[in-house]
Amino acid sequence: MTSTDARARVNGTIERALNVLREAAAEKGTVQTRGVALALWVLRGRCPDDWLVSFWEAAGSEHDIGRSQGLHAAYNGIVRQVRMQGGLDR
């Protein structure tokens, strides 16, 4: 069902984008995919570019431990920034 409330639609889109990034951070291999790129694109107005670029760069890392740490750190930073901008209700 599609919401007619614009704020609810925006919040839903932001939450879906964050879910994509959370799932990507949990993956074992490189995750520089179109889905991740689209999720980062959706979040560009809600989060400083540095966090988004950090996530993207970590997503393409070949080093397993470094990729995992980079993805989780960037994801946590992105969530914090989105919350500070009022993009999440929680």
Q: Which tens digits make up the pLDDT trace of 24-45? A: 999 999 999 999 999 999 999 8
* pTM for this predicted structure: 0.86
Q: Are 44 and 52 in contact (CB under 8 A)?
A: yes
pLDDT value, residue 39: 97
Q: Are 41 and 78 in contact (CB under 8 A)?
A: no
User: 86: phi > 0 → left, psi -120 to 50 → alpha, else beta; which?
Assistant: left
Residue 89 domain-assigned (yes or no): no
Q: What is the tally of structural domains in the chain? A: 1
DSSP state of 28: S
Residue 52: CA count within 13 A, CB half-sphere = 17
Residue 39 domain-assigned (yes or no): yes
Residue 90 domain-assigned (yes or no): no
Residue 25 domain-assigned (yes or no): yes
pLDDT value, residue 6: 67
